[in-house]
Chains A and B, each alone.
Chain A
Amino acid sequence: MIIGIERYGAYLPKYLLERKLIAEAWDFPVIPGGISVRNYDEDSITMAVEAGLDCLGEYDPNGIINTSSIDGLYFATTTPPYTEKQCAPIIANALDLRSDIICLDITNSTKSMSLALARAYETIKAGKANKILIIGSDSQKPMPESMYEYQYGDGAAALLIGKDEVVVSIEDYVSTSDNVIGPWKRAEDKFIRSFEGKHENIYGYSRNIIAAFKLLFEKTKIDPKSIAKAAIYALDPRNAEALAKKLGINSRAVENTPFLEFGNTGNAFAFMTLMLALKRGKTGDLIAFGSYGDGADAFLLKILDKQKLRELRRKCRGIIGYKNSMVMLKNYGAYLSKKKIIETERFIRKSSPVRNWRDEKFLYRMYGMKCNKCGTIQYPIWRACIECGEKDNKTDIKLKKRGKIFTFTLDHLEGGNYYDTPVPRCVIDLEGGGRILLNMTDIENPQENVKIGMDVEMTFRFIHSGANYNNYYWKCRPIRVLRKEEEEE
């Protein structure tokens, strides 16, 4: 049985903070590049939904795959919005997955996502599932005025693991565990901490990765020189090259991590490096993939079909699509606000988890209905048709997450408060039918940029924390990545 990657996808939030703005804020030495910054209404869960949608083909011109074919969702993060309550079911709902699936949160380590990959491999191998979606998503909140601010970017990566349409196979893997003190965050800690870095770098990071790959090469009897690509978790590109050298892997095989470009995206980081490595892959290429965190995971992967791999790239926006559509933050203050390091929560609304649970189908799964009498496609789902009043004679249908603005306003009032930054409220006619009202996010200078007739797409976001739990719903945004650009890519 060949088990491996059938599809992949990624997500990077819209905003990029150049490291020089951090340097300016704190009078730090300047480091080049930037960090990706989530918006105030994003977290690990919402970014996971984005990467999941990208992986499943939401932006594929041929359309999204049948989501009921997926038998499991393994979600990996070090920054779960909940410490008690699973995140994966929220993501599974937003992605409209079945309920008779295996949902897992694998947390607390930056190699949680490679553990998820190994678990998916084993589950499918055991015949318990055909397709499993794994998503890694992280949004670390580093302490202000610390060098951690240079490190952490926000983002998510997703892989669809299966046995039927494998493009990159999992040949074998090794997982090691080591109680080394790397970065940590206790339950009561607001910010990530770490001890003196040199010890961790030598005895934690380097030693564990080398040990894991040595075991893998012994086990698979693969000559390290035959490795065509090496995608290894590394915060410094020189680290990966040094490790490759020690392992006997050709230094030209080593893929640069995107650390300089947008920072360490936690669980997604190693996988983003892998996705970048796949870009130039050829049929038969062997890939060494390694991740780190309380031990190391080493995988041997193989590209089965270069042509199919190229097709996969066109089915998603991926890192390149999202990276090319990022916008630079103008100053450090915007970063503090978007990351909610300075709390600027707009409003809390009275909420009821019961009501949101009851309305799951149209709130999370984004279903509407078609009246069987007059044919009107409408949102949300209700008993009688809004146009003709026909009762209980309808078909629930999944709505498209893309449409055009019919009318809008820029609302400065929310929950009885006046805000200087307005919320665009957009009435949208969805492609394929249905009209909906959504707030717009990821928009700059709305007075100039929101217009009747503009194309928008839906994005899953944190709305408010009424009833002391996370209320999520969809918003709209301008089309984040234009197809034309993708084709040029």
Chain B
Amino acid sequence: MVKKGIKDRVAIIGVGCTKFGENWELNAEDLLIDAVYEAYKDAGIKDPQQEIDAGWVGIQYYFTGLAGCTLADAIKLYGKPMTRVENFCASGTDSFRNACLAVASGVCEIALATGVEKLMDEGGAGLPGFREFGHPTLPLPSAPAMFSMAATRCMHEFGWTKEDLALVAVKNHQNGVHHPKAHFRKAVDLKSVLNAPMIADPLGRFDCCAMSDGAAAVIITTPEIAQSYNHANDFILVKSNALAVETMAPWYKPSFGFTSFTSTVKAAKMAYHEAGITNPRKEISLAEVHDCFTITELINVQDLGFCAMGKAAEELRAGTFNADGELPVNPSGGLKCFGHPIGATGCRMIYEVTKQLQGRADGIQVKDPKIGLTHNLGGAYTVASVTILGKNEK
């Protein structure tokens, strides 16, 4: 399955992230430059022109930026390989994946992985672009509707209720209160979640993540070169990064059950194999998973092997996934609190887990984590990317 792999061959030496939210006064350039320069500072990069060999930027929308120059022009770093990466909502992690491969292959010594999205300029009622995208006449459900179809089926098969979904929002909003870079830093109660207006039945407004602007950046190198930068003693190692792409039209696939996302299952299998993880529930200390909608988190934790099929709601109620639980899921507050500037989210997850493993989380610090996981999901559960990060145990 995984051939040579990248395990322990790539080190994260610096991370940066803007405040996510309605950044009306900032454009994509502002967001990128803020995230990248925070990462430079974190790593100890002093002369980017000399030190950075290549860059990637994850962007979903053409109006945020086209081509590699979106990154090059923002930070005025010219004459180097710069690439725009698009893979739906997993664009950010795919930007990181490409950078990792470049470092592991030896083509680059220090690489920059970034992601950015400027959604608020397009107005706030759901993701833009659904007029232009896809086949002219075949139905195209909105993003909430895509995941809502899975919610309807899970409720039918597992007996989950709207309250089970709502509890995901309650948990993640409780976590987000503590994170200075979150879009929303307000706890919500069950009643408000349940009484919110419908977006795509059974998902109400609080079941959906918000439209936001933001950017995040990650600087990676080899473990050897990492020794000469700021985090020489606590750089983070990439244990694995796997990407699995399935169909954009699962509603045409007769065998698809709408209770599990095949892309996540396959990406997790590859990532666990390479990282040598056999019991994710026990071995993983924390996970930032793609909670674009409350139902998504419930399905994700099952697909990632954190609990048995159909048991996610039960485990959630038991506190398993709380920030102080057995396996903290989205201690940052997740997409529920950060919103989802498409291209940025994957790199933000790497940012969160890196800082958690280094014991310097912005929000709630998980107790003594060893291994962290990020899970980024895009399209109609089409593209899934799973990354395993670990401390550099000497």
Stretch at the interface among B5-13, B136-144, B280-288, B296-304: B136-144
Cα distance, A347 to B253, chains bound together (Å): 27
Among B145, B249, B252, the residue within 8 A (CB) of A425 is B145
Q: Which residues of B contact A359 (CB under 8 A)?
A: 135
Contact assessment for A422 and B198 in the assembled complex, using a CB-CB cutoff below 8 Å:
yes
Decide if A93 is an interface residue (CB 8 Å cutoff). no
Smallest CB gap from B156: residue in A: A452
Decide if B279 is an interface residue (CB 8 Å cutoff). no
Contact assessment for B142 and A452 in the assembled complex, using a CB-CB cutoff below 8 Å:
no
Contact assessment for B200 and A410 in the assembled complex, using a CB-CB cutoff below 8 Å:
yes
Cα distance, A356 to B127, chains bound together (Å): 25
Contact assessment for A386 and B144 in the assembled complex, using a CB-CB cutoff below 8 Å:
no
Given A378-B254, A434-B254, A471-B137, the answer on whether A416 and B200 have CB atoms closer than 8 Å is: no
Give B258 Cβ to nearest chain A Cβ, in Å.
5
Interface members, chain B 114-146 (any A CB < 8 Å):
122-123, 125-132, 135-142, 144-145
Stretch at the interface among B147-155, B179-187, B269-277, B328-336: B147-155
Residues of chain A touching chain B, judged by Cβ–Cβ distance below 8 Å, are 347-352, 355-356, 359, 363, 376-380, 386-387, 406-418, 422, 425, 427, 429, 433-439, 446-447, 452, 463-464, 466-467, 471-473
Give B255 Cβ to nearest chain A Cβ, in Å.
6
Q: Which residues of A contact B149 (CB under 8 A)?
A: 407-409, 425, 427
Q: Which residues of B contact A356 (CB under 8 A)?
A: 136-137
Cα distance, A408 to B153, chains bound together (Å): 8
Smallest CB gap from A411: residue in B: B145
Contact assessment for A409 and B152 in the assembled complex, using a CB-CB cutoff below 8 Å:
yes
Smallest CB gap from B204: residue in A: A412
Question: Count of B residues near A, CB < 8 Å?
Answer: 42
Contact assessment for B201 and A413 in the assembled complex, using a CB-CB cutoff below 8 Å:
no
Contact assessment for A355 and B130 in the assembled complex, using a CB-CB cutoff below 8 Å:
no
Give B91 Cβ to nearest chain A Cβ, in Å.
19
Q: Which residues of A contact B144 (CB under 8 A)?
A: 409, 411, 413
Contact assessment for B247 and A386 in the assembled complex, using a CB-CB cutoff below 8 Å:
yes
Contact assessment for B252 and A380 in the assembled complex, using a CB-CB cutoff below 8 Å:
yes
Among B135, B148, B249, B254, the residue within 8 A (CB) of A411 is B148
Q: Which residues of B contact A347 (CB under 8 A)?
A: 131
Give A203 Cβ to nearest chain B Cβ, in Å.
48
Chain B, 318-348, contact with A by CB distance < 8 Å: what is the 0/1 string?
0000000000000000000000000000000
Smallest CB gap from A430: residue in B: B254
Cα distance, A425 to B252, chains bound together (Å): 13
Decide if B199 is an interface residue (CB 8 Å cutoff). yes
Cα distance, A97 to B248, chains bound together (Å): 32
Give A300 Cβ to nearest chain B Cβ, in Å.
45
Most chain B CB neighbours (cut-off 10 Å) among A435, A447, A463 = A435
Q: A350-B136, A413-B142, A416-B123 are in contact. List 12 more A-B contacts (CB 8 A).
A: A349-B131, A379-B252, A386-B252, A406-B258, A414-B142, A415-B131, A416-B125, A416-B126, A418-B125, A425-B141, A435-B251, A436-B252
Could you list some 12 contacts between A and B, CB below 8 A? Answer: A351-B136, A410-B201, A412-B198, A413-B145, A416-B129, A416-B131, A417-B126, A418-B199, A435-B252, A436-B251, A452-B152, A466-B136
Give A451 Cβ to nearest chain B Cβ, in Å.
9
Give A437 Cβ to nearest chain B Cβ, in Å.
4
Among B132, B135, B200, the residue within 8 A (CB) of A413 is B200
Q: Which residues of A contact B137 (CB under 8 A)?
A: 349, 351, 356, 363, 463-464, 471-473
Given A416-B125, A429-B254, A436-B252, the answer on whether A355 and B135 have CB atoms closer than 8 Å is: yes
Given A379-B252, A414-B142, A471-B136, the answer on whether A407 and B126 have CB atoms closer than 8 Å is: no
Among B122, B139, B153, B198, the residue within 8 A (CB) of A407 is B153
Smallest CB gap from B203: residue in A: A409
Cα distance, A422 to B149, chains bound together (Å): 14
